[in-house]
Structure 1
């Protein structure tokens, strides 16, 4: 293959040694140092994730009322959480400042956009049924921001979803906005900026919602493990490149909880950036013989991740916020935005093991696709690197999630009849400026930050600008969407406000088959393969609002891959939207009178 590789249907030139890694089986790595040459404050700011000081998590937070021994009383893993959830009356308050800060997660120093000076940002923790209240202060001088609470349904509170131009105006520089979110579901989530591709600069963090467990128990909750591709350019420069006529970007590294080493000797001679190859790896402690819960999160901008632990079987117990009937695997695949909770028993014979995250190079654009972290059993020497061997599990190169037949929700829900069906094609095209964009259902989306769709729908508006790509579902109770991917590129598609029933996915056209009609898999992100399809359904009328449905690859939504569903619009008109939402728009409008936002992409 020389120095050319075909990735996502593009011909890409990458160094030959990196191309060799790109065709690896799970765990083909050169030897690496544990590093540690830089302090945590230099690499990840104020974050403790990835260090042995990171806290373990309880079964639930004990400062709640606990009727019948649990904050959720007698509700259990089989309770229909779409209809019933606890109302604990407990408010979990967080105060977040979004500001620029210098970090070096892999030793390469650059300016990021951080939450409270940390990358990854602070963990939000609550019990099922709590209210999470987050006050966000925008300390950026020259751009807006927002935070989206990924996977949260926001039932009857769509203005809390955090999407500028759709559910709110951006938070203006120097201003604040308080989100109030009900923990309607439980499990592992995350938050991230939804302003352009800002979260690629580090504006993200994990969420842990404690709730009832099914039969499979565990001894130790290790907590969040974030996997993300990392870039050595600032996010706006990346967007500029992507939005240029010949633009695409490759990630420079892959991180586990914000850490990995980088070979600084590969930098160009004229790159004067501070770089330290011994930045250090994330470390985890396992208790021998105990079962550990790991909360995996793909918090990346573009990369499909394959996660494994040498010599250890992973028991999958949840996909996104949905508990599933447990099944075993050696490798877990996560598209961007997806979460997978796994149980791992520390029953190995060695005292240290490698944890691995591989960017699936046939599916993603990566210069260095491999990330390592070290797991130490009790009393192991944490200065020595593990000597474990990776599983020999070749990448299937399909860019898809696990077989839908394997993923069966614990809380059973039969598929309702669809009252409205869409066939939505994904296509690429070149606009008049020579820029490659996406059309979703025939439109390349572009937001208007000053005119959020939800606020217009509240006023009875139903004649939206074409580029806002709004589809009204009327009073349809359940809506089916056949996503027809007419590009060779795989996409993680994400629906806000709902858990999608996943009916079918595959290559080519859908043949009408539905997998597990009596209890189909549900989740909020699903992979659609290149030149393939995915068929989803959602119960639209039950959550009136304006909800984005988009590719979660940051550069793809920047290039227009988004449609909005206006669900049950007559009920949107009856909402009493807090005055603070309109005030945020007044503040943004005032700021934009003397400042021009650099919206060179779709805005999201």
Structure 2
């Protein structure tokens, strides 16, 4: 048995050497894995030499990059020499300030085995900003103090100070880490966290897609007219009539879209380099797909390939093939590309990877500059720009299958068959069986429609002033039950108390009293994963794909729809999968619809449940589940308690 284990390790290591990864990474195969992340500000379009000196870079029309001659303390620091694109943090080719980990953007990929003890020392090298790191997807069982939620599980790390996160790598699968002070992830502070069930044998790549702005995200926080506590001047917000909308009529975002990146590379009206993956021809390979962006969902496809989805948010599903998948902020998928057999795809030298927004567009909009691409380069092919063509679903004999539609379907002429996440099946019968064999102990309705702005049940979340150790109620403003009833707007630390070891069923609705569609909200639960039992979608016009009305199974309980409940239509019950539902930690709640999710409160602590649109999170679309606070273990070792002076 030992020899077999050793062989598997050696084979995995050999394959990793043969396969070029798109993000720096080495798999830690030890029981205890140590990492160190130095977090600091940096600048795009900058080359940093081995001596640590940074030099600005110019982007020429043909895509070449040259060092700019600049004056520095050390004298003229550059000579116009060409530099390799992989040696430059390019972003989309536009200069802006970003936040990096270990000088890398995205941050280094951390790979460990399931059950390993992970020790990560994070040092804040920024001069005037605090920071914390959330380990997105990790359960942190009996260890909420390592969750990385600023002012909830810890005090943020002060400039020039360090904090060590220690946790068990659980569950296995594709996860990630990101800054959790305001919206630092939108400034580039993120990286992949891959937890393997066993030493990897099949080569894999990380694919992180993210929308990208040209300003520090704090600018949006300051100028947002929807911000809690103050109202900004609104310069960053686009007039309602000029915003981008999906075909179903839902708004994509209130802010003006700029560009997007795959693994930190994209283009904005220039010839900046795309991310390139070099693989062996016909090599069996897996992509760890993560939407690390702050605002936008992307529909991901690979020319001349089917996408076999084998897992989501770290949990295996029964494999199924799709033409494309829609990935919302915070979500992860494990995807195996399968080459199509048609003649035009045979022995193709290179292929495009495409990530497109859900923006409504005409059929001839094949190459929008506001979307993002990457290149799959086969090792025995040439280095030319791919000539592969985007799949034309309209001309196919059989409809294109698209996973994770937050709506019932596309317009009929698009020839697309939509699948929701609820259509997936876990690969293990009775997955999470303790959730499924009995009725839930409690059912809670949470409405996330924009009825009083970014809120849950009309309560906008106000962050505590200090973490919950030591627990002091003076550190947060509880919601006044008298003031927060019916249709009243509330700004408070919305906390829902839950007992230990109970089965909780959430019915998360996206309903509004307003007569027009709102938006789809990707919600993430800290400290737990949940079973997705079912989803309901708004009705739509089959010809146009436009939303007609909210799903009839749910109704508003109050005039401003601050609260919802099952309607008479649903009195005989709704279809729920209690046999083999998929497990998730992040899920898009459909506009005009709902999701029924179930989780077990087997992890004491204060756990965030929030929208993963960065702007909505800042504005207050979140709450805390307080799970048996008396059972929470005290943090071990030194712990900053954010005292007032």
CA distance in 2, matches of 1:556, 1:405: 24
User: What does the per-residue CA deviation read over 1:199-240, in whole Å, with 9 as the maximum and x for residues that have no partner?
Assistant: 100010011111159xxxx97423210000000111111222
User: What does the per-residue CA deviation read over 1:553-591, in whole Å, with 9 as the maximum and x for residues that have no partner?
Assistant: 00001110001000122312xx1322422x2535xx5xx
Asked whether the 8 Å contact 1:506–1:528 carries over to 2, the reply is no
* Displacement of 1:118: 1.3
Helix, strand or coil at the partner of 2:432: coil
Asked whether 1:479 is paired with 2:479, we answer no
Asked whether 1:91 is paired with 2:116, we answer no
Asked whether 1:455 is paired with 2:513, we answer no
Alignment-derived partner of residue 484 in structure 2 = none
TM-score normalised by length of structure 1: 0.74
Asked whether the 8 Å contact 2:351–2:376 carries over to 1, the reply is yes
Alignment-derived partner of residue 23 in structure 1 = none
Which has the larger Rg? Answer: 2
Count of residues paired in the alignment: 477
Q: 104, 107, 115: which one pairs with 1:118?
A: 104
TM-score normalised by length of structure 2: 0.70
Asked whether 1:423 is paired with 2:445, we answer yes
Helix, strand or coil at the partner of 1:380: coil
* Displacement of 1:117: 1.6
Asked whether the 8 Å contact 1:192–1:204 carries over to 2, the reply is yes
CA distance in 2, matches of 1:245, 1:463: 28
CA distance in 1, matches of 2:616, 2:212: 17
* Displacement of 1:513: 2.0
Pairs within 5 Å for 1:203-602: 203-212=189-198, 220-242=202-224, 243=227, 244=232, 246=234, 247=237, 248-263=254-269, 277-346=270-339, 348-349=345-346, 350-361=348-359, 368-382=369-383, 384-393=384-393, 399=406, 402-404=419-421, 406-411=423-428, 412-414=431-433, 415=436, 416-428=438-450, 437-448=453-464, 450-452=465-467, 454-457=468-471, 465-466=478-479, 467-475=492-500, 477-487=502-512, 488-507=518-537, 508=551, 509-510=553-554, 511=570, 512-540=573-601, 542-572=602-632, 575-581=633-639, 583=640, 585-586=642-643, 589=644
* Displacement of 1:284: 0.8
* Displacement of 1:392: 2.2
Structure 1's unaligned 5+ residue stretches are 1-50, 65-89, 264-276, 431-436, 594-604
Helix, strand or coil at the partner of 1:557: helix
* Displacement of 1:504: 1.7
Cα 1:568–1:417 shift into 2, 3 Å: farther
Cα 1:518–1:398 shift into 2, 3 Å: closer
CA distance in 1, matches of 2:630, 2:447: 28
CA distance in 2, matches of 1:56, 1:108: 23
CA distance in 2, matches of 1:455, 1:441: 27
Q: 131, 134, 151: which one pairs with 1:148?
A: 134
Asked whether the 8 Å contact 1:252–1:368 carries over to 2, the reply is no
* Displacement of 1:429: 5.3
Asked whether the 8 Å contact 1:154–1:160 carries over to 2, the reply is yes
CA distance in 2, matches of 1:210, 1:328: 23
Q: Which moved more, 1:347-356 or 1:198-207?
A: 347-356
CA distance in 2, matches of 1:403, 1:212: 30
Alignment-derived partner of residue 244 in structure 2 = none
* Displacement of 1:405: 5.1
Cα 1:483–1:368 shift into 2, 3 Å: farther
User: What does the per-residue CA deviation read over 1:483-507, in whole Å, with 9 as the maximum and x for residues that have no partner?
Assistant: 1212411100111111111122222
User: What does the per-residue CA deviation read over 1:522-542, in whole Å, with 9 as the maximum and x for residues that have no partner?
Assistant: 1001111112211211101x1
Asked whether the 8 Å contact 1:490–1:527 carries over to 2, the reply is yes
- Give RMSD over aligned pairs: 2.7
Asked whether the 8 Å contact 2:469–2:641 carries over to 1, the reply is no
CA distance in 1, matches of 2:457, 2:451: 13
Cα 1:105–1:445 shift into 2, 3 Å: same
Cα 1:282–1:556 shift into 2, 3 Å: same
Asked whether the 8 Å contact 1:102–1:110 carries over to 2, the reply is yes
Asked whether the 8 Å contact 1:254–1:368 carries over to 2, the reply is no
Helix, strand or coil at the partner of 1:515: coil
User: What does the per-residue CA deviation read over 1:436-472, in whole Å, with 9 as the maximum and x for residues that have no partner?
Assistant: x322123100113x322x3254x79999522110110
Asked whether the 8 Å contact 1:186–1:210 carries over to 2, the reply is yes
CA distance in 1, matches of 2:283, 2:356: 26
User: What does the per-residue CA deviation read over 1:264-320, in whole Å, with 9 as the maximum and x for residues that have no partner?
Assistant: xxxxxxxxxxxxx22201111122222111110000001111111001111110001
CA distance in 2, matches of 1:55, 1:231: 22
* Displacement of 1:55: 6.9
Higher relative contact order (Cα pairs below 8 Å, separated by 6+ residues) = 1
Asked whether the 8 Å contact 2:313–2:333 carries over to 1, the reply is yes
Helix, strand or coil at the partner of 2:461: coil
Pairs within 5 Å for 1:11-26: none
Alignment-derived partner of residue 269 in structure 1 = none
* Displacement of 1:325: 0.9
Alignment-derived partner of residue 116 in structure 2 = 130
Structure 2's unaligned 5+ residue stretches are 1-18, 45-89, 238-253, 362-367, 395-399, 408-417, 480-491, 513-517, 538-550, 555-569
CA distance in 2, matches of 1:139, 1:98: 5
User: What does the per-residue CA deviation read over 1:118-156, in whole Å, with 9 as the maximum and x for residues that have no partner?
Assistant: 110011110111111111111222221100000100000
CA distance in 2, matches of 1:340, 1:176: 32
